[in-house]
Copies of this chain bind each other. A is one copy, B any other.
Amino acid sequence: MAEIIRSVKGTRDFYPEQMVLHRWLYNHIRAVSARYGYQEWEAPMLETLDLYAAKSGDELVKEQAFVFEDRGGSSVALRPELTPSLARMVAQQRQTLNVPLRWWSFGPFWRYERPQKGRAREFFQWNLDLLGSTSVNSDAEVASVASALFSSIGLTPNEVIIRVNSRQFMEQRVAEIGVPNDRHSAVFRLIDRVDKLSESKWLDYGQKLGLNNHQITALREMLDDRNQWRNSEQLNEFFKTIDHMGVRQWFEFDPRIVRGLDYYTGIVFEARDRSNLHRAILGGGRYDNLVAEVGGEPISGTGFAMGDVVVQLVANEFGLLPEMNPCQTQILVTLFGHESVAQSYTVANELRQNDLRVEVYPDAVKLKNQVRYADRQGIPIVIVLGPDELDSGEVSVKQLATGEQSNIPMASLVDTIRMILESESSP
């Protein structure tokens, strides 16, 4: 036998068993987003390279994006993130959109990173954004929706924490240390790596950026100061509003959170498992210039993105992924042979018209094998239609959980099935 052709490294196969979990996550996301008035949207998965260039940060565009020339010779990218597409679409319809906009989306993204636990090259992302409002209330709102999703899937603040900071506040602190304005982005990248690099490598990196020892020491001290947020009006307001929203317990200030993307301008935040075993579950913040940067009339935005991989790892760690049978079929109608094909499909048809989920076994194999198939799938009811049953105008209804079997006149079949299904679903 030839070798089976392989899948692409970093992609995932969703068999029905995995797909029900994917839908489980999507359904929670959908319900939570709707509860806060967010509307679902979707952008193209292919965008021009120009859309990302100089806006998403060099690492994402130059090192991680899948970029190629299409057959017409244009440089296109498989989207590595959604916010630039959001900015483009909002810019295009700015005049007709009724602000504030509350939009969410769940779709595939691609980044060429080394595949590892919690990281795939093709992954899904929940994006949720609020545009057209500059107030910290909006930052607090999107962050609170993130916490609502965690609650919805059963996580608590004992397992997950959302860490918050302000880019403006950090700008101010970094300026106080004596870093000139044109070095701020570089210093933010330095801050972003404080937990990713060893102490000595981090110090080297700081020196390479031109910081003197005094500045590095001051920066290092600043990154350990958990109370400085009280000096920021913006952060004070953020935490007050989050408190009003009833979700203060999910949040804490962390001066090390600056987020890697260049377009953030205000409040930034990220969620992690408390024990820091995994990568960030989600990250986001305010981006007040992005729509203007893609060529649109300026409009403020704030939002976050959550990948599908880490949140499911964390949920799994705490036993929160549900056991779900991908088979939702309620009834298997057996097939005896050529002479009874008509009856099997007629019965199935009638049951389906009564909103029941029904399979007909497609081949006239041994009855035992048909029943075994139903049993393995977890289909609770098998309807046997053989020559005996056809002669008598009845069908045989078998409940696989109990083995009970009885002959039912065709006329009362739907009612009988409903009774069985109700009795099986009650405890």
Binding site for B on A (CB under 8 A): 1-9, 11-16, 19-20, 22-23, 34-37, 39-48, 50-51, 66, 68-72, 74, 76, 78, 88-89, 91-93, 98-100, 102-103, 108, 110, 112, 121-122, 130, 133-135, 137-138, 141, 240-241, 244-246, 294-297, 326-329, 335, 341-342, 345-346, 349, 352, 355-364, 373, 376-377, 379
User: Are B89 and A13 neighbours in the complex by a CB distance under 8 Å?
Assistant: yes
User: Are B13 and A103 neighbours in the complex by a CB distance under 8 Å?
Assistant: no
Can you list 14 A-B pairs, Cβ within 8 angstroms, ordered by A? A11-B44, A11-B46, A13-B44, A19-B40, A35-B355, A39-B328, A45-B45, A98-B373, A100-B362, A130-B362, A133-B363, A137-B362, A241-B345, A244-B341
Residue of B nearest to A100 (CB): B362
User: Are A46 and B8 neighbours in the complex by a CB distance under 8 Å?
Assistant: yes
Choose one: B41, B48, B98, B108; the contact of A376 (CB below 8 Å): B98
Residues on B with beta carbons closer than 8 Å to the beta carbon of A99? 373
- Chain B nearest Cβ from A249, distance in angstroms: 14
Choose one: B13, B40, B346, B358; the contact of A16 (CB below 8 Å): B40
Residues on B with beta carbons closer than 8 Å to the beta carbon of A42? 14, 19, 22
User: Are A41 and B14 neighbours in the complex by a CB distance under 8 Å?
Assistant: yes
- Chain B nearest Cβ from A96, distance in angstroms: 9
- Chain B nearest Cβ from A176, distance in angstroms: 28
User: Are A16 and B4 neighbours in the complex by a CB distance under 8 Å?
Assistant: no
Given A16-B39, A358-B37, A362-B100, decide whether A44 and B7 contact each other with a Cβ distance below 8 A.
yes
Residue of B nearest to A50 (CB): B5
Residues on B with beta carbons closer than 8 Å to the beta carbon of A3? 295
User: Are A14 and B43 neighbours in the complex by a CB distance under 8 Å?
Assistant: yes
User: Are B133 and A362 neighbours in the complex by a CB distance under 8 Å?
Assistant: yes
List 14 additional A-B contacts (Cβ < 8 Å) besides A5-B51, A7-B47: A1-B297, A4-B294, A5-B294, A7-B88, A8-B48, A35-B358, A36-B352, A39-B326, A39-B327, A46-B121, A135-B363, A141-B362, A240-B341, A245-B345
Residues on B with beta carbons closer than 8 Å to the beta carbon of A6? 48
Residue of B nearest to A121 (CB): B46
Given A4-B296, A46-B110, decide whether A37 and B359 contact each other with a Cβ distance below 8 A.
yes
Q: How far is the CA of A74 from the CA of B51 in the complex (A)?
A: 25
- Chain B nearest Cβ from A166, distance in angstroms: 17
